[in-house]
Structure 1
């Protein structure tokens, strides 16, 4: 197994970090939650963040937390589409524009998983909130578990496996529809 420091991965995949933070910011705006500060990319830990007003509304907290998963997955799949179609259909990956789009797309997809910080916000705002129903807590618990698995899985390249799987699956679906 190849171990590469996480800050180096973040530098190589910085478009994904930027899109991840933009997604948080977009969902804050959609949920009408004030944003105090945004750092789209930096060379320190964390590589990016969105500082916003806390919310006591479980749906708002949930959507702001998983917003990057939705946005990064959709955008990453779209960006990788030309490269994966070219590669799988024609066994040719020499087009520079498609190599560039593939890198952007894979970078974005690799940063789709919410962070453990996002999971902690959901734990504190939803699971530990006495006003939230038990049903909602039961539904949110597996999502939080998946976030932690995704975070721990990045050590064994689960984020890259996810990126390649989504890129491949999406292009296969599109090609089969044509």
Structure 2
């Protein structure tokens, strides 16, 4: 891992933890046994949840993509609290250190929203096995392609561009949210 990768992994650790926690919770809710959990590490991958193979395609799919939904919602909620820290109006500059911490947490969580290539591989394996018996499996292929495309685009900082776009989207809904 390069020095920049190492620093980014440390700085965005909260996003990794939320991502892996979501995988683990989905496994728990779906009664899928967890073999091993690493919520954060300095390495590649920065976190993981190893679990048994789910019984249904739907469960595999949900375990794989749930962090995208949860991380996005958590980050948006964090961004939405920034105006509250400024007394209901104003931006980051009016919030003091608390606003900057909330902004960092929101960016960190949003930057780790996209499923990993390991998540894509799990969905792909189940898609190949169950596309004839489960109509839901037909959506697996485009989702896997989108995950791999996001992974390739991460070389161009796509995950952070997504975090910025989410912040801007929340700011458009909450006019008091500005820098």
The 3-state SS of whatever aligns with 1:93 is helix
Q: Would the aligned equivalents of 1:65 and 1:114 in 2 still touch at CA under 8 Å?
A: yes
Could you report, residue by residue, the CA deviation over 1:12-46 in whole angstroms, capped at 9, with x for unpaired residues? Answer: 10000000000101111121111122111011211
Could you report, residue by residue, the CA deviation over 1:41-94 in whole angstroms, capped at 9, with x for unpaired residues? Answer: 0112111011111113100000000011011000011112233786xx635525
Aligned length: 171
Q: What corresponds to 1:68 in structure 2? A: 67
Structure 1, 106-115 or 137-146: larger mean CA deviation: 137-146
Q: What corresponds to 1:117 in structure 2? A: 118
The 3-state SS of whatever aligns with 2:46 is coil
Q: Would the aligned equivalents of 2:82 and 2:91 in 1 still touch at CA under 8 Å?
A: no
Tell me the TM-score normalised to structure 2 length: 0.85
Q: Would the aligned equivalents of 1:76 and 1:108 in 2 still touch at CA under 8 Å?
A: yes
Q: Distance in 2 between matches of 1:84 and 1:102?
A: 11
Could you report, residue by residue, the CA deviation over 1:83-132 in whole angstroms, capped at 9, with x for unpaired residues? Answer: 3786xx63552511000000001000000000010000111112333653
Q: Would the aligned equivalents of 1:126 and 1:132 in 2 still touch at CA under 8 Å?
A: no
Q: 1:22-41 to 2 correspondence within 5 Å?
A: 22-41=21-40
The 3-state SS of whatever aligns with 1:139 is helix
Q: Distance in 2 between matches of 1:106 and 1:83?
A: 13
Q: 1:149-160 to 2 correspondence within 5 Å?
A: 149-160=149-160
Can you give the 5+ residue segments of structure 2 that lack an aligned partner in the other structure?
none
Q: Distance in 1 between matches of 2:39 and 2:6?
A: 14
